[in-house]
Amino acid sequence: MDVPIELRYEKGRSHEMTLSTTQKLGPGSEFDLFGRHWRIVGTALQPRSTAWSQAPPRLVCVPDDRLAEKA
C-alpha cells in the first residue's frame, strides 16, 4: 500500500513523498528510511478543496532523537 508522508527535519525543512509499505501506519508508528529512524506524530492539515478531501491524510514524521542519542 502507498502511504503519503511528510518528513519534517530538525531545521525546518520538510519533504513530501509516498512510502510503499505492507504495514498499517498511524500516529506512534516507527520506521527506518534514508538512514534514519522516523516516528509518525500525526497528520498534516489538508486544503478544503474537493479533490484533496478524497485523498488519504498525509502522515507527519519526525526523526526519533531517542535512538540517535543511544548511538
Convert the pLDDT of each residue in 2-60 to its tens digit: 999 999 998 999 999 999 999 999 999 999 999 999 999 999 876 666 555 667 789 99
Domain with 9 in it: 2-70
Phi then psi for residue 70, to 5 deg, are -75, -25
Number of domains in the chain: 1
Three-state DSSP state, 46: coil
pTM above 0.75, yes or no: yes
Higher-pLDDT residue of 5, 68 = 5
Please determine, for residue 1, whether its predicted confidence score (pLDDT) is greater than 60: yes
Question: Quick one: pLDDT band at residue 65, thresholds 50, 70, 90?
Answer: confident
Within 8 A by CB and 6+ apart from 18, the residues are: 2, 3, 4, 5
Query: Residue 4 and residue 42: Cα distance in Å, rounded?
Result: 12
Which pLDDT score is estimated for 44?
87
